[in-house]
């Protein structure tokens, strides 16, 4: 009985694990489309981190850790950097879409 | 079901190998193999879950045909300890390690199934490499499904020292901590191989690192509590090699959690971060190795083992492999920016990092000194607590100070004027506390403790100031009460404010450590019933002995009733005792009654806990006066035992009953003519605050781990995106 049960488990595991290998080309393409482009992912992470920096700087100013002048300088610099990231993100998104369209 | 368990273990091993290989094939770009590997990891988790369920069921049913059950449990082991006995064994702890690895690997691969398409296959290969290693160890060196034939009539039982409620949670917490660090390590290796060394791998694995840090911290704290209440030597930290082995990855992991914030924001410390996580995971493996190898003398090292050499080989592979990989990626790991100013949060984080790593290095040296000294002098010399205290105390004091300074400073740069203003109040609080303690207490006789109190006061005042300023700022924008503002502050930035709560908890914990170690009064007393002794303000009278036999546990307990008065008024009644177990750990040939007293013994501590500290007592009865009685009982029993033929069950049962009678006689003699007992009495000031501080730190850790609601994160991001979009329009 136990051996039979073990064989059933082996069969289920083999069937489950090999599922993606039995996929058609269309299904594989669809699955790949859901994947985040690494460059876009990196830029998104940098964007989130930059937003966090901007929020932190605001909080620091509200708490009196940064003088208005220091904060002004820092905030302007952070925003400039954020804008650069957003521009780059737009470009990367567009390129990723073009690549995806070309693959289709 | 044992056959099924063994089959699932073999299948898990095969699946782990397949998943690792498929993931490596998938690194060439064929996603089908990557997805198949991920499914392999899920299957690995399910198979190991079946193995765990089968082993646990065998423990619950006391299936003595399974060797692991016969060696670590018995029919008389209480149900609670039968459930926890699995991880008291080497086989069970390896299964626990692999099982937790399988679950956490499945969780991270599910969460990142559509992300990190280059890193994930490598991370999967690393995780399944570890999975293959640990399931392989079980298959070839320490199988939890090994059978016994013939089946013994009774099991050995659980090691007496492990019969404590903390057994249910202390080892699993430590193992969960160790294993969860495998996730950021695997992704760091993936990032290094693919040269994707931006902060995105950190973002995806940060929460796993936090959970690892928290679980390891809880495990360490529970271990300290267990030691304090059970071991009978009077302390919570003995610088035991295995204790140290759990503290080192926690310290380096703490440094990692701080320095990744700098990389996320400033793109700096990339080499440092990958080095820290590789070191943390190597130290986590070292912790497992020290428990299981028996290479260093430790109360936690449960004998010689067969898995020491393979574990050492794995540690070597991880250390050498990750070092070579980091060196080969030096150019890619160059920082994008430099520290703008030494008066900034990132600069303080760096100092804190150096202190944490410095502490870990000191502890590493002290822990492995016996082996180092053996290499050079052929003599295994251990370093005792005073050595550790001498070198770790100054570092810990500085750490507390910088734990307070860090939250005060903003990122990038703080003007000197702002810095002075921010530091002023905490500095005044620190000076006031130090001055008052020096003036009105004997703290001045312990300068290091006094400095620790001053710096901890600085940190607590700084954190209080942070909360007050944060709440005031929020109120000025949104109105409402201070309480609501504080709640909103936490909701708005859980990581930051949860982290501050952790800092506060650790400052309290270190105050308590400094107070309880520097101002402890410890006396060893030898008293007969009716005699008294004075320790500090306490008069302790040994009123009478107590004795108890627990037949199912085969335990004999000799205890005492201590009446304590403080300044002449009744204060407490304490019941310290000593437990002896039949034959457990005793040398052979000592006789059935003698074996009770020459084997494993545990202490039950008598303790009165207050906010101000503990009065802590343990006892060891002097059994010298009873030696004659014990020897005579053993002689008689041995004479009778010689006449019993093997296989004569009836005679053996009768012999067992005779043994019971002899033990009862010893118990009666102990009560009728009690021998003197050796007592240790400790007055531990503020020790309760170690547990309070630890609990506060755990709460802070949970706040920091708890995910912010997705909707709120998106809304905040959108607001900033809109504002930045406006700026973009003007740029």
> Of A21, A30, A63, which to mutate for an interface test with B (greatest number of B Cβ within 10 Å)?
A63
Chain B CB contacts of A66 below 8 Å: 410, 414, 418
Judgement on whether residues A50 and A80 belong to the same structural domain of the protein: yes
DSSP string, B68-96: HHHHH--TTS-HHHHHHGGGGSHHHHHHH
3-class state of residue A44 by DSSP: helix
Rounded to 5 degrees, φ, ψ at B34 are: -65, -45
CA gyration radius for chain B?
29
Judgement on whether residues A23 and A56 belong to the same structural domain of the protein: no
Mean pLDDT calculated for residue range B498-517 = 95
pLDDT value of residue B156: 82
Distances (CA, A) of B654 to B1, B291, B556, B631: 36, 41, 20, 20
pLDDT value of residue B295: 62
3-class state of residue B156 by DSSP: coil
3-class state of residue B623 by DSSP: coil
Q: Closest Cα partner for B107 from B263, B213, B212?
A: B212
pLDDT value of residue B722: 66
Q: Closest Cα partner for B133 from B171, B97, B105?
A: B97
- For residue B28, count other CB atoms closer than 10 A to its CB: 9
- Report whether pLDDT(B727) > 60: no
Alpha-carbon gap, residue B699 to B500, rounded angstroms: 11
Q: How many angstroms separate the CA of residue A95 from the nearest CA in chain B?
A: 17
Planar angle of CA B88, B91, B93, nearest 5 degrees: 50
Chain B, 589 to 628: residues with Cβ < 8 Å from chain A are none
pLDDT value of residue B481: 85
Our count of domains for chain A comes to 2
Judgement on whether residues A26 and A59 belong to the same structural domain of the protein: no
pLDDT value of residue B21: 97
Chain A CB contacts of B131 below 8 Å: none
Q: Which residue of B has its CA nearest to A53?
A: B265
Chain A CB contacts of B11 below 8 Å: 6, 9-10, 13
Q: What pLDDT band is residue B615 in, cutting at 50, 70 and 90?
A: very high
Mean pLDDT calculated for residue range B368-372 = 84
pLDDT value of residue B589: 60
Chain A CB contacts of B40 below 8 Å: 17
Alpha-carbon gap, residue B684 to B41, rounded angstroms: 49
Residue B280's beta-bridge partner residues? none
- Report whether pLDDT(B731) > 50: no
Q: How many angstroms separate the CA of residue B475 from the nearest CA in chain A?
A: 11
3-class state of residue B544 by DSSP: strand
3-class state of residue B434 by DSSP: helix
Chain A CB contacts of B720 below 8 Å: 51, 54-55, 82
What confidence tens digit (pLDDT) does each residue in B536-574 have? 889 999 999 999 988 877 788 999 999 999 988 999 999
* Parent domain of A2: 1-35
Judgement on whether residues A22 and A41 belong to the same structural domain of the protein: no
Q: Which residue has the tokens 């822990």?
A: B367
Q: What pLDDT band is residue A31 in, cutting at 50, 70 and 90?
A: confident
Judgement on whether residues A89 and A45 belong to the same structural domain of the protein: yes
- Report whether pLDDT(B257) > 70: yes
Asked if the Cβ–Cβ distance from A83 to B32 is below 8 Å, we say: no
Judgement on whether residues A51 and A102 belong to the same structural domain of the protein: yes
Residue B15's beta-bridge partner residues? none
Judgement on whether residues A55 and A90 belong to the same structural domain of the protein: yes
Chain B CB contacts of A36 below 8 Å: 114-117
Judgement on whether residues A45 and A75 belong to the same structural domain of the protein: yes
What confidence tens digit (pLDDT) does each residue in B156-185 have? 888 877 888 888 899 899 999 999 999 999
Q: Which residue has the tokens 């393409």?
A: A29
Q: Please name the member of A18, A45, A86 whose beta carbon is closest to the beta carbon of B199.
A: A45
Q: What pLDDT band is residue B336 in, cutting at 50, 70 and 90?
A: confident
pLDDT value of residue B381: 77
Question: B53 at the A interface (CB within 8 A)?
Answer: no
Chain B CB contacts of A9 below 8 Å: 4, 7-8, 11, 47, 50
Alpha-carbon gap, residue B74 to B69, rounded angstroms: 7
Asked if the Cβ–Cβ distance from B724 to A62 is below 8 Å, we say: no
**What's the number of CA atoms in the CB half-sphere (13 Å) around residue B557?**
16
Asked if the Cβ–Cβ distance from B418 to A23 is below 8 Å, we say: no
**What ipTM was estimated for this complex?**
0.84
Asked if the Cβ–Cβ distance from A70 to B727 is below 8 Å, we say: no
- Report whether pLDDT(B711) > 50: no
Question: B658 at the A interface (CB within 8 A)?
Answer: no
pLDDT value of residue B232: 64
Judgement on whether residues A30 and A49 belong to the same structural domain of the protein: no
> Of B20, B26, B36, B492, which to mutate for an interface test with A (greatest number of A Cβ within 10 Å)?
B36
Chain B CB contacts of A46 below 8 Å: 198-199
Task: Using a pLDDT cut of 70, give the percent of chain B over it.
Answer: 93
Chain B CB contacts of A18 below 8 Å: 36
Asked if the Cβ–Cβ distance from B720 to A55 is below 8 Å, we say: yes
> Of A8, A17, A32, which to mutate for an interface test with B (greatest number of B Cβ within 10 Å)?
A17
Q: A with B: how many residue pairs have Cβ under 8 Å apart?
A: 154
Judgement on whether residues A81 and A71 belong to the same structural domain of the protein: yes
Q: How many angstroms separate the CA of residue A78 from the nearest CA in chain B?
A: 10
Q: Which residue of A has its CA nearest to B263?
A: A49
Question: B225 at the A interface (CB within 8 A)?
Answer: no
Judgement on whether residues A31 and A80 belong to the same structural domain of the protein: no
What confidence tens digit (pLDDT) does each residue in B658-690 have? 888 888 888 898 999 899 999 999 999 999 999
Exposure string over B548-565, b if 16+ CB within 10 A, otherwise e:
eeeeebbbbbbbbbbbbb
Q: What pLDDT band is residue B144 in, cutting at 50, 70 and 90?
A: very high
pLDDT value of residue B595: 78
Is pLDDT larger for residue B526 or for residue B229? B526
Question: B490 at the A interface (CB within 8 A)?
Answer: no
Mean pLDDT calculated for residue range A71-85 = 88
pLDDT value of residue B298: 58
Q: Closest Cα partner for B455 from B491, B423, B499?
A: B423
Q: Is the dihedral of CA B654, B656, B659, B661 positive or negative?
A: negative
Q: Which residue of A has its CA nearest to B39?
A: A17
Rounded to 5 degrees, φ, ψ at B547 are: -150, 150
Instruction: Please tell me whether the peptide bond between B625 and the residue prior to it is cis, using omega within 30 degrees of 0.
Output: no
- Report whether pLDDT(A69) > 60: yes
Q: What pLDDT band is residue B728 in, cutting at 50, 70 and 90?
A: very low
Chain A CB contacts of B260 below 8 Å: none
Alpha-carbon gap, residue B145 to B48, rounded angstroms: 13
What is the model's pTM? 0.89
Spatial contact of B178 and B285, defined as CB atoms under 8 Å apart: yes
Is pLDDT larger for residue B458 or for residue B155? B458
- Report whether pLDDT(B189) > 80: yes
**pLDDT averaged over every residue in chain B:** 88
pLDDT value of residue B507: 96
Is pLDDT larger for residue B721 or for residue A9? A9
Q: What pLDDT band is residue B300 in, cutting at 50, 70 and 90?
A: low
Judgement on whether residues A20 and A63 belong to the same structural domain of the protein: no
Chain B CB contacts of A17 below 8 Å: 15, 18-19, 36, 39-40, 43
């Amino acid at each position: 009985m136990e051996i039979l049960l073990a064989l059933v488990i082996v069969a289920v595991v083999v069937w489950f694990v090999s599922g993606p290998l039995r996929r058609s080309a269309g299904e594989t393409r669809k699955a790949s489309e859901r994947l985040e482009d690494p460059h876009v992912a990196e830029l998104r992470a940098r964007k989130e981190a930059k937003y966090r920096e901007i929020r932190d700087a605001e909080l620091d100013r509200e708490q009196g850790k940064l003088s208005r002048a220091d904060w002004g300088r820092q905030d302007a610099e952070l925003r400039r950097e954020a804008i650069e990231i957003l521009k780059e993100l737009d470009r990367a998104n567009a390129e990723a879409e073009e690549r995806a369209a070309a693959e289709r | 079901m044992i056959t099924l368990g063994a089959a699932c273990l073999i299948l898990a091993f095969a699946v782990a190998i397949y998943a690792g290989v498929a993931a490596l094939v998938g690194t060439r770009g064929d996603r089908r193999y990557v997805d198949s590997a991920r499914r392999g990891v899920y299957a690995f988790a399910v198979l190991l879950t079946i193995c765990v369920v089968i082993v646990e069921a065998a423990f619950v049913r006391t299936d003595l045909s399974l060797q692991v059950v016969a060696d670590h449990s018995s029919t008389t082991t209480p149900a609670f300890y039968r459930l926890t006995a699995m991880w008291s064994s080497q086989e069970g702890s390896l299964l626990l390690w692999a099982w937790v690895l399988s679950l956490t690997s499945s969780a991270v691969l599910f969460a990142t199934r559509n992300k990190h398409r280059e890193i994930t296959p490598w991370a999967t290969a690393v995780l399944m490499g570890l999975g293959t290693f640990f399931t392989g160890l079980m298959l070839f060196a320490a199988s939890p499904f090994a059978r016994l034939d013939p089946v013994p009539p009774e099991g050995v039982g659980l090691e007496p020292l492990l019969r404590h409620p903390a057994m249910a949670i202390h080892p699993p917490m430590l193992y969960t901590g160790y294993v969860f660090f495998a996730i950021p390590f695997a992704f760091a290796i993936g990032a290094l191989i693919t040269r994707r060394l931006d902060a995105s791998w950190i973002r995806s694995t940060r929460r796993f690192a936090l959970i690892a840090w928290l679980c390891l911290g809880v495990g360490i704290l529970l271990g300290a509590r267990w030691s304090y209440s059970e071991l009978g030597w009077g302390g919570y930290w003995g610088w035991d090699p295995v204790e140290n082995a759990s503290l080192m990855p926690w310290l380096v992991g703490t440094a990692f959690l701080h320095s990744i914030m700098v990389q996320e924001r400033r793109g700096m410390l990339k080499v440092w971060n990958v080095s820290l996580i590789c070191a943390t995971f190597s130290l986590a493996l070292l912790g497992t190795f020290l428990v299981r190898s028996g290479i260093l003398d430790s109360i936690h090292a449960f004998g010689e083992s067969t898995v020491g050499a393979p574990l050492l080989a794995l540690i070597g592979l991880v250390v050498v492999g990750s070092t070579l990989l980091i060196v080969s990626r030096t150019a890619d790991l160059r920082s994008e920016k430099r520290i703008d100013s030494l008066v900034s949060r990132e600069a303080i984080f760096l100092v804190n990092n150096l202190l944490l790593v410095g502490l870990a290095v000191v502890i590493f040296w002290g822990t492995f000194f016996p082996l180092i000294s053996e290499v050079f002098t052929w003599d295994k010399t251990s370093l005792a607590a005073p050595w550790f205290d001498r070198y770790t105390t100054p570092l810990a004091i500085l750490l507390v100070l910088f734990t307070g300074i860090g939250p005060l400073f903003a990122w990038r740069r703080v003007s000197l004027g702002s810095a002075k203003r921010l530091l002023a109040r905490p500095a005044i609080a620190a000076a006031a506390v130090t001055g008052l303690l020096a003036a009105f207490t004997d703290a001045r006789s312990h300068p290091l403790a006094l400095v620790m109190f001053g710096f901890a006061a600085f940190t607590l005042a700084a954190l209080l100031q942070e909360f007050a300023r944060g709440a005031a700022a929020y109120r000025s924008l949104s109105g409402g009460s201070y309480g609501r503002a504080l709640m909103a502050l936490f909701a708005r930035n859980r990581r930051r404010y949860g982290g501050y709560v952790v800092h506060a908890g650790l400052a309290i914990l270190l105050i308590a450590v400094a107070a309880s170690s520097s101002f402890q009064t410890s006396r060893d007393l030898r008293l007969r019933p009716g005699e008294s002794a004075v320790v500090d303000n306490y008069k302790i009278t040994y009123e009478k002995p107590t004795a108890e036999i627990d037949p199912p546990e085969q335990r004999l307990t000799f205890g005492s009733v201590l009446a304590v008065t403080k300044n002449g008024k009744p204060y407490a009644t304490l019941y310290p005792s000593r437990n002896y177990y039949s034959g457990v750990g005793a040398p052979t040939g000592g006789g059935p009654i003698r074996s009770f007293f020459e084997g494993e013994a545990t202490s039950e501590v008598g303790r009165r806990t207050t906010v101000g500290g503990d009065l802590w007592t343990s006892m060891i009865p002097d059994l010298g006066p009873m030696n004659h009685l014990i020897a005579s009982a053993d002689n008689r029993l041995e004479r009778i035992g010689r006449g019993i033929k093997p296989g004569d069950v009836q005679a053996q049962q009768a012999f067992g009953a005779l043994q019971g009678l002899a033990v009862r006689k010893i118990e009666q003699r102990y009560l009728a003519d009690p021998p003197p007992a050796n007592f240790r009495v400790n007055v531990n000031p503020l020790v309760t605050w170690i547990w309070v501080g630890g609990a506060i730190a755990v709460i802070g850790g949970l706040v920091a781990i708890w995910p912010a609601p997705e909707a709120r994160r998106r809304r905040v991001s959108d607001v900033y995106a809109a504002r930045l979009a406006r700026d973009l329009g003007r740029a």
